[in-house]
Amino acid sequence: MTRSGLVLGVVLLLTAGVRPAVAQVSVYSVLGIGFPNRPTSLAARAMGDGTAAVDPRSTVNPGAIALQRRLTVSGYFVTTGRAYEADGVSTGDLRDTRFPLAIVEGQLGSSPLSFGLSYSLYADRTYELTTSDSVLIRGEVVGVDDRLSSDGGVADLRSALGWYVSRALQVGAAVHVLSGSTRERGIRTFDDPQYVPVTQSGDVSYTGWGVSAGAVYTPFQRLRLGMSVRRDSKLEAAGTLLPAIEIQLPTTVSGGFSALLLPTLRLSTSASWRSWAAANDDIPVGAGITAFDTWDVGTGLEFGGPDIGTSAIPLRVGVRYAQLPFSRTDEQAREIDLSAGSGFVFAGGRAMLEFALERVLRDGAGAKERAWQLSFGVVLRP
Amino acid sequence: MIERRSGPAVIAWLATLALLAAACQETVTAPGACPNFCPPAQLEVFDTVVTGVVEREEWGRGFILPQRVGTMQIVADPAGRSSVGVVQFFPFSDSIASGTGFIPVQSVDSFKLELEQFRLSATGDSLVLVVHRLPIGLDSSTSYNDVVPFIDDSTEVATIALIDTVGNPSVVIPVAAFPAYVTDSFTLAVGLTLRADSGGFADFATQESSVAVGPFMRRYVTADSAGTSIVLEDSRSGAFDTFVAPPLPDPAAGILVVGGIPSARTIVRVAIPPKILDSSDVVRATLLMVLDGPVLGGPGDSVTVRTFAVRADVGLKSPLFGVGQDSVTRGVADLPVGSADTMRIDITRIVIPWQNDSSVARSILLGLAPEASSLGEVRLRSSQSTAGAPAIHITYVPRFLEQP
């Protein structure tokens, strides 16, 4: 197999049969603007997002872009199998495959500047729910079956510029365009055939923008620090099925470090805080949803691998704790991810296949969800 | 990057990826855990009776003539309106077919009237079909008043006891029953009445029927076949057959009529509020019309009123959508003769196309099914009536508002 053929094959595999523009779904996707995505690379996922603040292939810190001195294309998909219990309802064997992040980045000529263009999912509103009930119509009780679904989400298109100020300091800034749509659909069928089934559907479009800035500081070779701030606008939602509405998106503050504890062992930790509670003023009272500020903390270890430079195969493990922003109760939901992953280099060092396996435990706000997530991705350096 | 892997290992990885990609199947449908994990907005059903939305009604008679339909209804109603079936047969001749030619008829031995019966009222009484001799010359201008002078005991030529709901009743009639047979150029005409103490009806096929055989008269003769007398028979179908009844008085002003003979139709225009029609999904709509008096018709009979959507509203002769198609003409109301309940007809399939399409005529035409095949007639109050104006009972689901 030739090198170019191999690369082409990998790209085709990653894009075939995978739905774009949406990430994992969850029982919590039905709340608020949807389930917030993790804008992190596959390697970061395998380490509990511990490298998010200093990872050039994640879209958290634009300052990290400056570390990418070579043209790089990367992306991955996630296959999820999950089950949940909520309000007395339990279900399992739910499966989906999503494509949460893709990024192109590299140095601008021989300048100290680097660019990064990326797509990631900001929030996912994909779900399909079925309910059965009875209603009183014309003095008679009539059984009804409803199927309510939403398909789509909000994408985050980021254009970032990084400046390699020195070996110790890199800074960057980015502009984010938030765009997307969901196809909302409601279907009601009646037990009594005299009532005609109803199908209502319509597209809801979402628009918004954001800016972010960050820096990466490497005080000495074994330690790297990262910090970034992101400010998003209000998210405008409009469609045929609802009046125009604007929801304030959060300000995000992220920070973290990556430390080479041993020549073959690296520890990374990152944390993010998001001011989701700012949306409370904009969420319609009738929706009955409360938004909470969230913390997202993750840490992970990497043994070897090409980034450290000691082997072709890295071993990564991590753990992550995150709060979820939306709830219909006074309780804020949270999730714990336990992750592990690896990868290997091929095509003369120009490509790398990666994978990660995660066990996700989500609890709170009246639901308990358990998921296995298997991710595969590729990093190309032509 | 560091490369230490060989080609076969890469191929193995790719094969694994290919299997995983092929195994990617979406299963996202799940039972809703409401209300906490369901969308805030739900599909809600509303139900209301809207009045004043049926307007500019009109009716007219004469769309289908009784001699153009496949059914002849004979009604006996001691307390009301009876009908008479009339049949004039194609003429016989003084010869009769035998082998490949015709031979002269020496004498006529008898006649036999044969009918095909569709329906019979279930009044519990014994119903007797009485056959009367009528003068020939029946045609589309023949009215009940033309026929009734000849309906008496002196013209009675035969009777048939009707027992089964469907069947082929027949009766032999002596030649003497038709003294003018020869002078009328071998042409016979009969009138059919029903004898029932407490009333009833019977439906028979006519020549216009596409599913049955209309009345015909069989003749038994003795003919001369090369000097030998032989017995032969031949028959004639009806040249004209229909049923007649005394006309009903016209209804009062503002009253609408559906059915009867000749058939009457009513058209109504509907103006459902835009809030319902354009901002909701109609799941059921019922036209409510108050009867102006009991349903007319044969004792024990019932009528079926059917609604039609019109392609364009040009009045009572508007072209109809999909006549005979169940999806369009789904709305029917079966009304027993004598009942005076409010007529309720499902018009859901007619109303739904009106939604978000102002080019569709928002008019409904009402007719009897089948038309001009019985004495059944319905008289309805209109928007001009002082009480009991038409209304629409409508069940709808407003477009749901999805909220984040």
DSSP B320: B
- The lowest-confidence range among A342-346, B20-24, B69-73 is B20-24
Q: Contact B1/A306, CB-based, under 8 Å?
A: yes
Tokens 């929801």, residue? A247
pLDDT above 60 for B270: yes
pLDDT at position A15, please?
39
Q: Write the CB contacts of A199 (distance below 8 Å, at least 6 apart in sequence).
A: A185, A186, A187, B281
- The lowest-confidence range among B18-32, B164-178, B350-364 is B18-32
Q: Contact B400/A200, CB-based, under 8 Å?
A: yes
Q: Which residues of A touch B326 (CB under 8 A)?
A: none
Q: Which residues of B touch A8 (CB under 8 A)?
A: none
B344 touches chain A (CB under 8 A): no
Cβ atoms of residues A228 and A61 within 8 Å? yes
Q: What is the dihedral of CA B299, B304, B310, B314, to 10 degrees?
A: 0
pLDDT above 90 for A178: yes
Interfacial B residues in 120-179 facing A (CB < 8 Å)? none
pLDDT at position A163, please?
97
Strand partners, B275: none
CA dist A295 and B89 (Å) reads 98
pLDDT above 90 for B109: yes
pLDDT above 80 for B330: no
pLDDT at position A165, please?
97
pLDDT digits (tens, 9 = 90+) for B235-244: 999 999 999 9
B19 touches chain A (CB under 8 A): no
Which range scores top for mean pLDDT: A370-374, A378-382, B24-28? A370-374
Q: Which residues of B touch A147 (CB under 8 A)?
A: 29
Of B4, B13, B30, the CB nearest to A129: B30
CA dist B231 and B265 (Å) reads 52
| pTM attached to this predicted model | 0.78
Pairing of strands B156-162, B46-51: unpaired
Comparing A283 with B268, the larger pLDDT belongs to B268
CA dist B190 and B87 (Å) reads 5
Cα-to-chain-centroid distance, residue B23? 57
Give residue B123's pLDDT band: very low, low, confident or very high (50, 70, 90): low
pLDDT at position B35, please?
74
Residue of chain A nearest B13, judged by CA positions = A353
Closest CA to B50 of B402, B349, B390: B390
pLDDT digits (tens, 9 = 90+) for A12-45: 344 333 343 333 378 898 888 899 999 999 999 9
pLDDT at position A118, please?
97
Residue of A3, A4, A13 to mutate for B, most B C-beta atoms under 10 A: A13
Residue of chain B nearest A145, judged by CA positions = B43
pLDDT at position A285, please?
80
Q: Contact A345/B1, CB-based, under 8 Å?
A: yes
pLDDT digits (tens, 9 = 90+) for B341-378: 899 999 998 999 898 788 889 999 999 999 999 999 99
- The lowest-confidence range among B15-24, B106-115, B254-263 is B15-24
Structure-token pair, residue A201: 């559907």
pLDDT at position A12, please?
38
Mean pLDDT of A113-117: 96
A102 touches chain B (CB under 8 A): no
pLDDT at position B329, please?
55
Residue of chain B nearest A366, judged by CA positions = B36
Q: Contact A94/B18, CB-based, under 8 Å?
A: no
Q: What is the DSSP string of B103-152?
A: EEEEEEEEEEEE--EEEE---SSPEEEEEEE--S---TT--HHHHGGG-S
Give residue A174's pLDDT band: very low, low, confident or very high (50, 70, 90): very high
pLDDT above 70 for B24: no
pLDDT at position A1, please?
40
Mean pLDDT of B49-69: 92
pLDDT at position B206, please?
96
CA dist B63 and B85 (Å) reads 20
pLDDT digits (tens, 9 = 90+) for A137-160: 999 999 999 998 888 999 999 999
CB atoms within 10 A of CB A203: 14
Cβ atoms of residues B364 and B308 within 8 Å? yes
pLDDT digits (tens, 9 = 90+) for A320-349: 999 999 999 999 999 999 999 999 888 888
pLDDT at position A325, please?
96
B47 touches chain A (CB under 8 A): yes
Of A79, A196, A198, the CB nearest to B20: A79
Residue of chain B nearest A348, judged by CA positions = B3
Tokens 């170019």, residue? A4
Residue of chain B nearest A97, judged by CA positions = B24
pLDDT at position A201, please?
87
Cβ atoms of residues B339 and B295 within 8 Å? yes
pLDDT above 50 for A3: no
Q: Contact A138/B395, CB-based, under 8 Å?
A: yes
Q: Contact A188/B27, CB-based, under 8 Å?
A: no
Give residue B11's pLDDT band: very low, low, confident or very high (50, 70, 90): low
pLDDT at position A358, please?
97
pLDDT at position B143, please?
94
pLDDT digits (tens, 9 = 90+) for A240-267: 666 678 999 999 999 999 999 998 999 9
pLDDT above 90 for B381: yes
- How much of chain A, in percent, has pLDDT values that exceed 70? 93
Mean pLDDT of A299-304: 95
